[in-house]
Amino acid sequence: MRRRLASIKYRIPLAFAAVAVYVCLLAGYAAWALLDTIRVAARHEAEQVAEVVSYEVLDDVINGDQKSLQTFVDRLHRAYRRNVEIVDRQQTVLAHSDPSQIGLNYREDPEGEVGHTIADGRVRHFVERESQLAERLRHVVVPLWQVVSPQKESHVIGAVILEYSEIFDTRMARARTKLGSLAAAALLCLMLSIVTSLLIARRIVRPIASLTDAVENYAEGRLETRVRSDRSDELGTLARKFDAMADEIERARDGMRVNERRLETAAGELMLISRMDGFLHASRGVEEASKVVSESAHELFAGASGALYLTNHSRNLLEEHAAWGATPPREPSFAPEACWALRLGQGHVVAGGEPRCAHVGDDGRTYVCQPLVAAGETLGIVHVLDGRPEDGAAAAAMLAECARKARLLAEHVGPAMANLNLQERLRNLSIRDPLTGTYNRRYMDEALQQELQRARRASYELAVVMLDIDHFKRFNDSFGHDGGDAVLSALGAYLRQHTRSSDIVCRYGGEEFALVLSPTAKQGARERAEQIRAGMEQMVLTHGGRNLGTVTISLGLALFPEHASDPVALVKCADLALYQAKRGGRNRVVMLGDDDAPPAT
């Protein structure tokens, strides 16, 4: 701020502004002084007139000649249009410009000024605002003194109330005329100051300030700054010399700018890849990681489209997991043999004459396929569609840059996907039963707790079904443990196929399974349990070329919140219903509380 105030760019306008402010302050003070003088003069004139009236009416008040008082007041009102009221010591109106007020008690003073004047004999002023009028009526109150002894002792016997708004308004009208002249003079002075300041700023201050700003900006590193002046005087010559010097320096720095842009691009790519690595390592699954790759690739391959393909579990297809750009690839999946990059084991760049992959349309677009490899295992490809083929070194350089970025992306995405696949396999081993493919009991305990919390928030019902294979020992005795395992595996597969994605199927222990049906209603849970029972009974199972016979199951149901509200109690209720189904003859569905169910012991 101090530096700006020291500049000629600001000092000249500030000087004129200071003069204008000073003139305005003087004008304002003069206006205030004039108005104050007018107020004092009006009050003084009103007091003098009221004193004269008090001398005229004193004898009539003393003698009680109310008629003479009223005649004097009426004559004064007709001659000068002034309202006069005369009151006695009790503030009773003796004479009034409005005869209807005679004999009434005076109450027009807002603060009791008339009573105070009668009490202490001091002249007072007050303003009356009548409800019928919008103007403010100004009054002066002077006491009526009566001499009562030879020693000229006196006391107040009443008061004269004179309305002097006309006197005040007349003087104020004259003052407004003077104030108008004063304001016009101040405004003219202010306008002259502004015009003079603008002229000086335009012709002298602005060119100097422009040249100064250009020099300062250039010194601070903004090398594109130019003055571009067309003046023919010394200031114009100085500006053109400055521009010529800046152009020469700019030409010398062009090469450095190109290198700086390359370094900035490389640094941006490294930051982008580093950020992507952080999100990939924090991802909880392949799908979440694929979204991270899609967002990062959209920023890395600006203007290009592409997709991330990963091999499926059977390793016979590559499936699209992420896509980006305005025109991503149309193939959602393809065989590994359809991609030259997978067949060659290296990146495949197509600029025009190279063999095209079968999974890419024959539309002439250039593209890059880069394999994802981690620990010697091919996990998929990064596929980038760059655009229409163009001749020239610039187009070839752009495609080469695209291939470099694809390699960079694949080098980081491949290990991350391999790590996520390993985590997924380990997680499945920890929560899945290897024989039946269903969840294990530890997973069900955690999942049931979460499902109950969700059901409480959404206020819906949830069912737990405990089911057991009837006479399972007969299968082990007749067909060996392999036969029993075949029955368990078939039941697990059947349950996975005939439940919803929101349901939970787990092997609770031995030949006992548990289902969590969420959400469901009471009747719906019973019907679904009956469908599962009937479907299992109709299945034909074989093992080692031998028919295992009919497999039946017993099922027990318990509902949240009808039967229990916490997971342990809910499972116990379902287990109790299962025992009732067993005691009732097996191969049946029993819901806790059914009237026809036998009691459980």
- Which tens digit of pLDDT belongs to each residue from 359-368? 987 877 889 9
Residue identified by tokens 């490389």 is: 266
Confidence (pLDDT) at 515: 94
Report the CATH number that the domain containing residue 108 is assigned in CATH: 3.30.450.20
Write down which residue in 431, 453, 474 finishes a domain: 431
One domain for residues 24 and 160:
yes
Identify the band that residue 452 occupies on the pLDDT scale cut at 50, 70 and 90.
very high
Report the CATH number that the domain containing residue 571 is assigned in CATH: 3.30.70.270
Q: Taking the CA atoms of 219, 221, 227 and 228 in sequence, report the sign of the dihedral they define.
A: positive
Confidence (pLDDT) at 486: 92
Does position 544 have pLDDT exceeding 70, yes or no?
A: yes
> Could you tell me the end-to-end alpha-carbon distance of the chain, in angstroms, rounded to an integer?
93
pLDDT tens, residue by residue, 304-328: 899 999 998 888 899 999 999 888 8
- Tell me the average pLDDT of the chain: 84
Whether 1 is covered by a domain: the verdict is no
Confidence (pLDDT) at 391: 58
Whether 319 is covered by a domain: the verdict is yes
One domain for residues 281 and 418:
yes
Cβ neighbors of 335 (< 8 A, separation 6 or more) are: 316, 317, 318
Whether 376 is covered by a domain: the verdict is yes
Q: What percent of the chain has pLDDT over 90?
A: 27
Whether 215 is covered by a domain: the verdict is no
Whether 277 is covered by a domain: the verdict is yes
Confidence (pLDDT) at 387: 62
Task: State how many domains the chain has.
Answer: 3
Contact between 451 and 462 under an 8 Å Cβ cutoff? The reply is: yes
pLDDT tens, residue by residue, 217-228: 888 878 778 887
Cβ neighbors of 66 (< 8 A, separation 6 or more) are: 60, 94, 95, 102
Please tell me which residue, 513 or 256, carries the higher pLDDT value.
513
CA 513 to chain CA mean position, Å: 49
Write down which residue in 373, 399, 431 finishes a domain: 431
3-state secondary structure of 18: helix
Tell me the mean pLDDT in the region 356-379: 87
**Sheet of 305-311, strand order:** 333-334, 318-324, 305-311, 377-387, 366-374, 348-350
The Cα–Cα gap between 597 and 72 comes to 119
Confidence (pLDDT) at 219: 82
Q: Regarding beta strands 377-387 and 504-509, do their DSSP bridges make them parallel or antiparallel, or are they unpaired?
A: unpaired
Confidence (pLDDT) at 492: 93
One domain for residues 418 and 278:
yes
What does each C-alpha distance from 51 to 54, 135, 266, 466 come to in angstroms? 5, 25, 99, 114
Does position 84 have pLDDT exceeding 60, yes or no?
A: yes
Identify the band that residue 507 occupies on the pLDDT scale cut at 50, 70 and 90.
very high
Phi, then psi, of 138 in degrees rounded to 5: -100, 135
One domain for residues 485 and 523:
yes
Dihedral angle computed from the Cα positions of residues 166, 59, 122 and 148, in that order, rounded to the nearest 10 degrees? 180
Report the CATH number that the domain containing residue 359 is assigned in CATH: 3.30.450.40
Does position 524 have pLDDT exceeding 50, yes or no?
A: yes
Closest among 296, 301, 342 to 318, alpha carbons compared: 342
Does position 525 have pLDDT exceeding 60, yes or no?
A: yes
Confidence (pLDDT) at 418: 86
Please tell me which residue, 35 or 458, carries the higher pLDDT value.
458
Whole-model pTM: value is: 0.46
The Cα–Cα gap between 207 and 218 comes to 17
Does position 150 have pLDDT exceeding 70, yes or no?
A: no
Whether 184 is covered by a domain: the verdict is no
Closest among 151, 135, 174, 147 to 45, alpha carbons compared: 174
The Cα–Cα gap between 424 and 71 comes to 116
Does position 546 have pLDDT exceeding 80, yes or no?
A: yes
One domain for residues 19 and 167:
yes
One domain for residues 282 and 426:
yes
Confidence (pLDDT) at 151: 62
One domain for residues 445 and 418:
no
What does each C-alpha distance from 527 to 493, 498, 581 come to in angstroms? 20, 13, 16
Residue identified by tokens 């996975």 is: 496
Does position 18 have pLDDT exceeding 80, yes or no?
A: no
CA 212 to chain CA mean position, Å: 42
Please tell me which residue, 333 or 363, carries the higher pLDDT value.
333
Confidence (pLDDT) at 264: 82
Identify the band that residue 601 occupies on the pLDDT scale cut at 50, 70 and 90.
very low
Confidence (pLDDT) at 599: 57
One domain for residues 44 and 134:
yes
Structure tokens at 253: 């720095």
One domain for residues 393 and 464:
no
Contact between 32 and 235 under an 8 Å Cβ cutoff? The reply is: no
The Cα–Cα gap between 162 and 125 comes to 10
- Helices of type H across 228-285: 234-252, 254-282
One domain for residues 288 and 393:
yes
The Cα–Cα gap between 515 and 462 comes to 11
One domain for residues 116 and 43:
yes
Confidence (pLDDT) at 10: 64
One domain for residues 421 and 275:
yes
Q: What percent of the chain has pLDDT over 70?
A: 92
The neighbouring-strand residues paired with 351 are none
Does position 498 have pLDDT exceeding 50, yes or no?
A: yes
Confidence (pLDDT) at 553: 94
Whether 181 is covered by a domain: the verdict is no
Write down which residue in 390, 413, 431 finishes a domain: 431
Cβ neighbors of 373 (< 8 A, separation 6 or more) are: 379, 410, 414
Identify the band that residue 462 occupies on the pLDDT scale cut at 50, 70 and 90.
very high
- DSSP E strand stretches across 242-388: 305-311, 318-324, 333-334, 348-350, 366-374, 377-387
Most confident by average pLDDT, 140-149, 285-294, 348-357, 577-586: 577-586
| Domain housing 23 | 8-172
Cβ neighbors of 218 (< 8 A, separation 6 or more) are: 225, 246
Whether 195 is covered by a domain: the verdict is no
Tell me the mean pLDDT in the region 513-522: 92
Most confident by average pLDDT, 32-41, 164-173, 203-212, 572-581: 572-581
Does position 426 have pLDDT exceeding 50, yes or no?
A: yes
Cβ neighbors of 589 (< 8 A, separation 6 or more) are: 526, 529, 530, 533, 554, 555, 556, 557, 581
Q: How many helices (H) and strands (E) does the chain have?
A: 15, 18
pLDDT tens, residue by residue, 263-303: 888 888 889 888 988 998 888 888 888 999 999 988 888 88
Amino acid at 207: P
